[in-house]
Chains A and B, each alone.
Chain A
Amino acid sequence: MIDLQLTPVSWQIMMVAACAAAACGLLGVQLVLRRRAMLGDAIAHGVLPGLVIGFVVSGSRDLFPMLVGALIAAIFVSILAEWLREHAGVDGGAALGVVFTSLFALGIILIEIFARDVDLDAGCVLYGMVEYAPIHQVEWFGYSVPRSLTPVLGALLLNLGATVLFWKEWKLCAFDPQLARASRLPFQTLEQGLLVLVAITSVACFEAVGSVLVIAMIAVPATIGHVLCDRMSSMVIVSTLAGVVSAVLGTVGAIQLETGVPGMMAVSSGGLLVGAVLLAPGRGLIPAATRNFSWTMRVEMEDILAESHLQSMDSPPDHTDSAGAPSSRFFRILATWLLWTLGYIRNGIPVGRGERMARTLLKKRSLWKRFAAERMGLASDHLDEPAHRIEHHLDDDLTRRLESGFESEED
């Protein structure tokens, strides 16, 4: 059992991190659906000059003016990129890239000119100071909470409110921008409002978790939601949950490995993403492979049962064996072994359950062949092709309908 060593301090760190992740995750869903997942990256880099200018203008190391400067810079990034795309014909990704990398370079130069001696510590913005969160505390209703929780929680509530308020509108804008534009919605305003929210959230989270993590928290939990869910509602829930879980795992992991929380949060979210891609029920890679395998096995087993049943009745076989590709030979052997182990086949003759399965299959097969030949005009040499072995797919309902007569079938 791992000794978690979770102190109250750790809990506070976890709380701040979880709120930041949730706040980013909510907006991340909107960005991912609009194919603008890289906006988080762009803002994370592009705010640097804003921070420096805020510092210079205010003359102090207070966080607030820097964050205001960052906010202005963030909005600047999205608007400028949009302008380049619309009016200068620059490709979307390139427009974003030009803007934020230039601003980042500008920011570094500004640091060198104005802030060299003051140790502005751009690293603070990059990696955040979530580990130091518990150090500065403020009073809330008699409880002592980390100061950095304030902007983060504020952003979370803001995003939550916006998500709820604009649910229908955002959904339409995301899925069908044409229709949204055509209808009475103030499409531009809504989209720009979304961008402003992204800017606010990023900046609010910078101090807490750093800009690096904002990139990950905007993109990854939402992508996990995208992989697992088919509706925006479930996507939002999964995304928020994934963010919170990443925060928890990340904090624990950071304590264990004695490294920074933001990095471990990103890694945790990565692990969750890998898990989602591999294991998503239905669509995941592993369930799909498993399903294919069990399907092939089932078909093979049923075929063997049917063939051996026919043989045992001294009837002619239904179709000649298809030439064995190595893989199908493998399945054949495996299926035979499994049938034997399960007791469905004894001495090459289906018994018990196996015999019942054989009979059912043969009945379905003859029904289908008759249907195919009479109703669909399938040529006889096509009936044996694998794609036409529909008998394996027929469930009881369809079988009954086939049986109860083709006459009632519409054409």
Chain B
Amino acid sequence: MMISPNTLVILLGSTALGTCCGLVGALMLLKRRALLADAIAHSTLPGICIAFLLGGSRSLAVLGVGALLSALLSATLVSWLPRITRIRKDAATACVLGILFGAGIALVGIIQRSGLGGSAAGLDGLLLGRTAGMLRSEALLFGISAMMMSLIIISLRKELLVSCFDPRFGLSAKIPARSIDFLQTSLLAATIVIALPAVGVVLTAALVVIPAAAGRFWTDRFDVLLAISALIGAASGLIGTLLSSLHSNLPAGPVIVLSATTLFIISLLLAPGRGWISRHMQQRSRLQDRQVRQFLDGILSSELEESSLVVLKRQPVTTAAIDRRNLVVSSRNGWIETDSQRIQLTPEGRRRAVRARKALQIWREWLTSEASIDRDLIDLDEQDIEKILPPDLIDTLQRSIDHRGTS
């Protein structure tokens, strides 16, 4: 497949743009300000119109400055309004968005009526973007921005971490949390402003939100999250541009966004640990483990010749399929021995069953002594217990059980 130089430029530019959006989006996600991007993106409109009216030219630089100023204004308003009034964050964001964008629309109307040259096509371009027309200079701009942003984030990593996680700690860490916050907002505003001509208003917000949300599924670490968001953003830019170049009538912006969405869905489903499939499988396997454990416990009961009441209380409801699987798993692991008439626990299997019983006892002991919960209501697995209770606590509880002489 031959890629024309022009397409290459666009590819690189989109990739760089995606990287920027992914990086800044991760920061916004961590500060729980995902929708700020949408508000800022819409708020650039009045700034652009005013710049056009005042500057008289349609040079991107002039309009860009106007967009940046009104972007910063809207970001400031969204932060300040909750602080000085009782307006809450979501209402502030929605109001700023609606009012400023409405003002922008009104200004567009004025410009159109006054015949100064603004056209509906121009406005649509701003809303939807025109990646196809990306110039070399724009791509260069994106590339430089991506590099600068990466540099800033790498060098200010700990400052950003404190600002996002625990701003009150800033004073103790000698980090000016407010200033760092302003820096992040400015980066967001700048990213949106430079992305506008290429991707359009709504889709810029998309690129800021979606890659970061997708990245969150893959990791529980700050640095890795930033890297993966950047990667997914870059991949979206790349894939989207490639795909849209195959169909000449598809604008690249939406295709890039849908690529990001696809990556989001893939992350949602497939990410190990936090992904849906993974969690589902974890739950399944834990359920199966529990069924095997209960199965072994049942055998232990009969071997200890416990009274039928106790046995009945412990028998869970099973199906034939579950029974079969229990048998297969248990014998494969060497926990039971079967001959034609009975099933018997191996020493290993017995050890396992006894230990499981003890763990359950400990758990119930803890619940009744510390948490005052009726012991019959709770039934947890070994792993849960070891995860929730620290080892020293388990020892303490075990000692108190032994001391009490319960078997």
Using a CB–CB distance below 8 Å, which chain A residues touch chain B? Answer: 32, 35-38, 40-41, 45, 87-98, 101-102, 104-106, 108-109, 112-113, 116, 123, 126-127, 212-213, 215-220, 222-223, 226-227, 254, 257-260, 262-267, 269-270, 273, 277, 283, 285
Contacts and interface: CB of A to CB of B under 8 A. Distances in A.
A390 B86 CA distance: 29
B98 A216 contact: yes
Would you list the 8 A-B pairs with minimal beta carbon distance, nearest first? Answer: A266-B102, A216-B98, A263-B106, A259-B109, A101-B206, A270-B99, A219-B94, A263-B105
Interface string B85-97: 1111111111101
A212 B205 contact: no
Contacts of A127: 105
A104 B202 contact: yes
B203 interface: yes
Contacts of A93: 32-35, 90
B106 A97 contact: no
Given A219-B95, A262-B102, A270-B102, A94 B29 contact: yes
Contacts of B38: 38, 41, 97, 101
A257 B106 contact: yes
A94 B99 contact: no
Contacts of A260: 105-106, 109
A223 B32 contact: no
Contacts of B258: 102, 105-106, 109
A271 to B, nearest CB: 9
Nearest to A267: B103
B257 interface: yes
Contacts of A37: 88, 90-91, 93-95
- The B interface, classified by DSSP as helix, strand, loop or mixed, is helix
B99 A35 contact: no
A218 B99 CA distance: 11
B278 to A, nearest CB: 12
B218 to A, nearest CB: 13
A93 B91 CA distance: 12
B249 interface: yes
A254 B274 CA distance: 51
Contact of B216 (A90, A222, A273): A90
B362 interface: no
Given A37-B90, A37-B94, A109-B250, A101 B105 contact: no
A32 B249 CA distance: 41
B251 interface: yes
A105 B103 contact: no
Contact of A35 (B90, B101, B203): B90
Interface of A: prevailing SS: helix
Contacts of B29: 91, 94
Contacts of A102: 206, 210, 257-258, 260-261, 264
A102 to B, nearest CB: 4
Nearest to A91: B32
Contacts, number: 213
Interface in B199-248: 202-203, 205-206, 209-210, 212-213, 216
Given A108-B251, A112-B249, A258-B110, A220 B128 contact: no
A316 B1 CA distance: 99
B304 interface: no
Considering residues A35, A216, A283, which has the most beta carbons from chain B within 10 angstroms of its beta carbon? Answer: A216
B94 A266 contact: no
B35 A220 contact: no
A32 to B, nearest CB: 5
A98 B250 contact: no
Contacts of B120: 123
A45 B202 contact: yes
B27 interface: no
A98 B103 contact: no
Contacts of A259: 106-110, 113
A41 B102 contact: no
A127 B112 CA distance: 15
B124 interface: yes
B210 A98 contact: yes
Contacts of A223: 87, 91-92, 94-95
Nearest to A94: B34
B22 interface: no
A101 B259 CA distance: 12
Given A97-B209, A109-B254, A215 B98 contact: yes
Contacts of A90: 213, 216
Interface in B310-359: none
B90 A38 contact: yes
Contact of A226 (B84, B86, B210): B86
A102 B86 CA distance: 32
A105 B260 CA distance: 11
A41 B97 contact: yes
23 contacts: A41-B35, A87-B276, A93-B32, A96-B35, A98-B210, A101-B206, A102-B206, A102-B257, A104-B203, A113-B250, A123-B124, A213-B102, A216-B101, A219-B94, A227-B85, A227-B86, A258-B113, A259-B110, A267-B102, A269-B102, A270-B102, A277-B85, A285-B84
Contacts of A97: 34-35, 37-38, 205-206, 209-210, 213
Contacts of B92: 223
A345 B337 CA distance: 108
Given A212-B102, A263-B105, 20 more contacts: A35-B88, A41-B97, A45-B202, A91-B32, A97-B206, A101-B202, A102-B260, A105-B255, A108-B254, A109-B250, A109-B255, A126-B127, A213-B98, A215-B97, A219-B94, A220-B94, A220-B95, A222-B91, A223-B94, A257-B110
Interface string B18-60: 0000000000010011110110000000000000000000000
